[in-house]
Chain A
């Protein structure tokens, strides 16, 4: 990999999340300075900040883009116990006035008694839907039934995880054989908290989400979780960021063998475990084809993992800080 450019963000405090839009031509950043910034890539390839606004009353932990089929929409979640949905409003049809666009808050999603730790849009085939999770142990799923009116969101589900939640991931599979599914990771430190990854599946009959599986081997704090994009596999792949990087496969067991009407049962295998970070792993994320997993840890590195052969994963790249001196002191390495 190589580094073509760096952008000065001018956030006043720590940045917690960076997010590309669907096409990689816009990005959003969010910070402990309570603001969100949106950046656009020009034709010549330069990035410019086109919007900045105070979005919450506390650190903003995550910012994420909706699918462009729904327009230019962002969701954010914060320490201030809320999540919010934002929509970009373009200026008047006066074409001369190509001013900077501005973003309008469409709704505030209340209800959590604690910091909202993650927010993720559902796969687009489910409509305009998102899920949040909080330290209060509840996953909330909201839907906007009218995509032309984003101020109307209804709380569709409240899933009680009984553990403080740190991260969620929607299963992106569009296959009709797969029901909607969401994985939840926990950073709960209490002694009763054993398995820290739960998987909930939507049941067509009860019209509710029910717990389908827990990953019994994931007993350490989970910081991040991510389903891989599915290129037509019958089974699912899930990565978690915990004290190391772990990759699991979840193979649905044939429905005839389980009690009908209940959630799908899965055969769960851990196909990879990497402790190369030698420290807590905080983020995991898949590339768009689900062929490479990236992880970031306390060691200050981002590592890339690729499956070359069946279930055979290798680290194929490392992105590391190159400490350069601020005041002319000696330089480390190259």
Chain B
């Protein structure tokens, strides 16, 4: 497996333009501290060096802090858990259908998030944040585009025939200017006279939406009688183009035969110059014959090479086999870019998908996307489809686990999202448990409620050392704040006899000084826990002021 060779991301830390300084730093659970310093000045001099007075706090993953993406994280968490749980029950055909459904669920969550972000972008008060939201929308859109393609190729595993139909849907979903264009044109008084009319018709043909294109042509025929017969002929060609429809019982060979005949008919019209009087109609006919030069004249309408690819396939090889896709993909990319520009990260990702190189897709996505959400969930799903070979990564864990660990670690930086992270760690068999142990003990225990929540999670997983440690930390904190009762109950929960003894000592000292016990209720109700330490037992005896025998009975009942 190739290395992730890419330029490391640079984070800029503002500084004062004084003489050159170095930085000292420290890692925190979710953040990093940085401060300007001068390492070579280790000899103590009395000369004061002009100091930079600032400390900088840097965070790893900005997405975790976004309100809107919160929903993405929460909902995809539910889908993830559901997928892990149904794993064992899935077999055969229903398995594939289930996996496709999970994939569609993920995608709809992305789309929902995109929609919300889009609304926020429009409503943004200042242009800078509006731009930022818009750029997030683009990223989400790209994620959905990639995921959708992966679903078609890897999860649905569409065979020749249905493959093209899926790709057509894919393109129609993602090149969506058509709908607004359509609304514009059809909403006008004289649609066929609208300046974008022909663009609309062309785009409809490019997307294989021939019924709609035919309707447009009939409007033109009505408005412009001299073209009527040409429009009718072209419309007929559109109507009769053989295409595989779901539920169609004909074989691919039959379809292909019919399609060849239809093509010959189109070809004949061109030869006979049927549409010579209307260059526009002639161009449409050429498009329907998959003429590359004509297609490339409409780059603007195609807007990207993968649209060009699908249109090409539709009109020149509709029964394309999955394994042949990459030839067309590569040549489409080359022709579309025409040497004028180079492929961008998104292009490389899509190309890797067309080449059925799943690992390359994951690798490129890991590089291109700043957060781990996408690659972690997609890889997990593909792993459930049994598509990933196990490569030996660092720690000996596999790709799926590596990415899930990265994603889950990122969640732990957040004061409430960490709870989602717990579940992800649970489903990482190699290093999930130990990673969870390391992360969960770092969660700040600002409230008793949070502490209890953390403890419950640890107890459920028999993480006894973490339970002990957390209770000890809380016990110590209570002692420091002179809340001895609380300290006692935490040290009992920690099963820390030594510490319980120390706290009991403090209680007794308090009693000697003040003549009464604080927290009598708590001591009174310890029950069997009082046996944890002799000193504690002694404390309970004396606070109760009753004879040891009666106390013994009290404990046992």
Which A positions have Cβ atoms within 8 angstroms of B?
1-20, 22-25, 27, 29, 31-32, 43, 47, 58-59, 61, 68-72, 79, 88, 90, 93, 115, 124, 147-148, 223, 229, 231-232, 280, 282-283, 285-289, 291, 294, 296-304, 307-312, 314-326, 329, 334
Contacts and interface: CB of A to CB of B under 8 A. Distances in A.
Nearest to A329: B17
Contacts of A323: 15, 17
A49 B135 CA distance: 37
Given A15-B37, A318-B11, A319-B34, 20 more contacts: A2-B62, A3-B13, A3-B59, A4-B58, A4-B65, A9-B35, A9-B54, A14-B37, A18-B34, A20-B31, A24-B442, A69-B469, A71-B479, A124-B469, A232-B431, A285-B27, A288-B29, A309-B392, A318-B10, A325-B17
B23 interface: yes
Interface in B425-463: 431, 434-435, 438-439, 442-446
B16 A326 contact: yes
A148 B53 contact: no
Contact of A294 (B16, B27, B431, B434): B27
Contact of A288 (B25, B40, B57, B438): B438
Interface in B4-22: 4-5, 8-18, 20-22
B62 A326 contact: no
Contacts of B476: 68-71
B22 A298 contact: yes
B28 interface: yes
B481 interface: yes
Given A14-B51, A69-B473, A19 B37 contact: no
B8 A308 contact: no
A324 B11 contact: no
B480 interface: yes
Contacts of B479: 71, 148
B49 A14 contact: yes
B394 interface: yes
A321 B21 contact: yes
A285 B25 contact: yes
B416 to A, nearest CB: 13
Contacts of A319: 10-13, 23, 25, 32, 34, 58
B393 interface: yes
A72 B469 contact: no
A13 B62 contact: no
Residue from B26, B32, B53, B479 with most neighbouring chain A CB atoms (10 Å) = B26
Given A32-B49, A88-B480, A4 B33 contact: no
Given A11-B53, A231-B395, A43 B39 contact: no
A93 B482 contact: yes
A20 B33 contact: yes
B431 A308 contact: no
Contacts of A314: 3-5, 8
A23 B9 contact: no
Contacts of B439: 288-289
Contacts of B26: 17-20, 27, 285
A20 B34 contact: no
25 contacts: A1-B59, A3-B13, A4-B65, A6-B14, A6-B57, A9-B35, A12-B48, A16-B24, A17-B26, A18-B26, A69-B476, A71-B479, A90-B480, A232-B431, A283-B39, A288-B439, A289-B409, A289-B439, A291-B409, A294-B27, A304-B8, A310-B394, A316-B8, A317-B10, A320-B13
Contacts of A58: 44
Contact of A289 (B25, B435, B444, B473): B435
Given A71-B480, A232-B434, A324 B394 contact: no
Nearest to A25: B444
A7 B54 contact: yes
A115 B99 CA distance: 64
Given A18-B33, A308-B3, A319-B11, A4 B25 contact: no
Given A8-B53, A10-B53, A71-B476, A320 B438 contact: no
B57 A229 contact: no
A14 B45 CA distance: 11
Nearest to B434: A231
B54 A6 contact: yes
A221 to B, nearest CB: 11
Contact of A1 (B36, B58, B472, B481): B58
Contact of A22 (B13, B37, B442): B442
Interface string B209-234: 00000000000000000000000000
A59 B39 CA distance: 13
A86 to B, nearest CB: 14
Contact of B32 (A1, A282, A325): A1
A92 to B, nearest CB: 9
Interface in B316-334: none
Contacts of A70: 476
Contacts of A324: 14-17
Contacts of B38: 14
B31 A24 contact: yes
A6 B446 contact: no
Contacts of B51: 11-15, 31
A231 to B, nearest CB: 5
Contact of A302 (B23, B396, B482): B23
A162 to B, nearest CB: 20
A272 B175 CA distance: 47
A188 B4 CA distance: 38
A332 to B, nearest CB: 9
B55 A9 contact: yes
Contact of B29 (A24, A69, A320): A24
B178 interface: no
B480 A148 contact: no
Contacts of B435: 231, 289
B72 interface: no
Contacts of B193: none
A269 to B, nearest CB: 15
Contacts of A311: 394
Contacts of A329: 17
A323 to B, nearest CB: 5
Nearest to B496: A69
B30 interface: yes
